[in-house]
């Protein structure tokens, strides 16, 4: 959608987040099972991560599995729990080529020991890379994330390491899963839904929101570029006023 000369004129968001929505509906339109949509959705993570890397994005957070998704039908959940292994087998060489670092945000208490080993292995194998950080939010819920951060801070108050008056917004932020990532600039939700669904609620406080109707498996580099172009049209004041 835009050439290198255009890219140089644009403000490229440092941190983009995407809610990977519409996999099941995309598959249904093709008379395929929902699991087929999830498979294609995982494959599209690679496509968009590489596209974001080429565009100069520093971090990409993707909402792959939420804390609420456990309530879905068992066969669908069982399939989704196989995806970390598929992800590792299919994409490690591609991500190495682009120097992409992979991290995972979310609970670790509900995952199998096999999946925990896979996530740890991927994290360790990519931790020294200097390119785009791909943050895969797996068994992630923003309310859980914030609650856990509050518990960590509460323990410090309890042990007299800090007093309640020492608690700041920055302290909460420092205890979130995303503490090492740049501040969130742009949050994208494909599929036509217009809500955040418990995704990066703290981080999205002053992020720009972009909604589009294309389902995630069909979301392309052109769609990502369209979101970035729209981002460049926003007047980001962060609650203040710009000097005239």
pLDDT digits (tens, 9 = 90+) for 53-90: 999 999 999 999 999 999 999 999 998 999 899 888 88
Q: What is the 3-state secondary structure (H, E, C) of 7-19?
A: HHHCCCCCEEEEE
Say if CB 101 and CB 127 are below 8 A apart.
yes
21 is catalytic: yes
Buried b (16+ CB within 10 A) or exposed e, 91-118: bbeebeebebbbbbbbeeeebeeebeeb
* Per annotation, catalytic residue among 4, 6, 11, 21: 21
**CA 31 vs CA 27, 35, 215: distances in Å:** 6, 12, 15
pLDDT above 80 (res 182): yes
| 0.85 exceeded by pTM | yes
pLDDT tens profile 166-178? 999 999 999 999 9
Distance, C-alpha 231 to centroid of its chain: 17
Phi, psi of 77 (to 5 degrees): -65, -45
pLDDT of residue 70: 95
Kindly tell me if the per-residue pLDDT of 6 is higher than 70.
no
Is residue 94 a contact partner of residue 48, using CB atoms and an 8 Å limit? no
pLDDT bucket at 237, cuts 50 / 70 / 90: confident
- Banded model confidence at residue 3, pLDDT cuts 50, 70, 90: low
pLDDT in tens, 121-134: 999 999 999 999 99
Nearest CA to 200 among 76, 72, 60, 81?
60
Whether the pLDDT of residue 1 is over 70: the answer is: no
Per-residue pLDDT, 5: 47
Q: For residue 88, what are its two tokens?
A: 């590792």
Mean per-residue pLDDT of the chain: 93
**Token digits for 143?**
């309310």
- For the chain, the residue count is 244
CA terminus-to-terminus distance, the chain: 32
Q: What's the whole-number mean pLDDT along residues 201-210?
A: 97
Helices in the chain by DSSP H: which ranges? 4-9, 23-29, 34-55, 74-80, 83-97, 113-126, 142-158, 169-174, 221-231
Residue 32 DSSP symbol: -
Q: Which of 69, 125, 175, 198 is catalytic?
A: 69
Structural tokens at position 90: 């299919």
**DSSP code string of 178-211:** TTTSPPP-EEEE-SS--S-TTSSTTGGGG-EEEE
Between 227 and 6, the higher pLDDT residue: 227
pLDDT (0 to 100) of residue 244: 54
**Cβ count within 10 A of residue 60:** 24
Quick: pLDDT tens for 22-44.
999 999 999 999 999 999 999 99
Q: Is the pLDDT of residue 92 over 50?
A: yes
């Amino acid at each position: 959608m835009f050439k290198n000369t255009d890219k140089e004129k644009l403000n490229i968001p440092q941190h983009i987040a995407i809610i990977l929505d519409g996999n099941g509906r995309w598959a249904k339109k093709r008379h395929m099972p929902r699991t087929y949509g999830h498979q294609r959705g995982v494959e599209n993570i690679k496509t968009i991560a590489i596209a974001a890397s080429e565009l100069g994005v520093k971090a990409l957070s993707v909402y792959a599995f939420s804390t609420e998704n456990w309530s879905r039908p068992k066969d669908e959940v069982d399939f989704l729990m196989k995806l970390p292994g598929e992800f590792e087998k299919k994409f490690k060489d591609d991500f190495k080529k682009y120097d992409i670092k992979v991290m995972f945000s979310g609970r670790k208490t509900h995952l199998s020991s096999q999946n925990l080993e896979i996530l740890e292995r991927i994290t360790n194998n990519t931790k020294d890379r200097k390119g785009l950080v791909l943050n895969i939010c797996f068994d992630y819920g923003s309310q859980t994330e914030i609650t856990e951060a509050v518990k960590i801070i509460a323990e410090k108050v309890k042990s007299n390491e800090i007093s309640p008056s020492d608690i700041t917004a920055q302290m909460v932020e420092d205890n979130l899963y995303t503490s090492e990532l740049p501040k969130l600039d742009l949050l994208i939700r494909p599929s036509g839904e217009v809500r955040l669904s418990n995704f990066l609620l703290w981080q999205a406080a002053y992020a720009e929101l972009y909604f589009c109707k294309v389902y995630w498996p069909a979301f392309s580099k052109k769609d990502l570029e369209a979101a970035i172009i729209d981002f460049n049209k926003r007047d980001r004041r962060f609650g203040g006023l710009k000097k005239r």
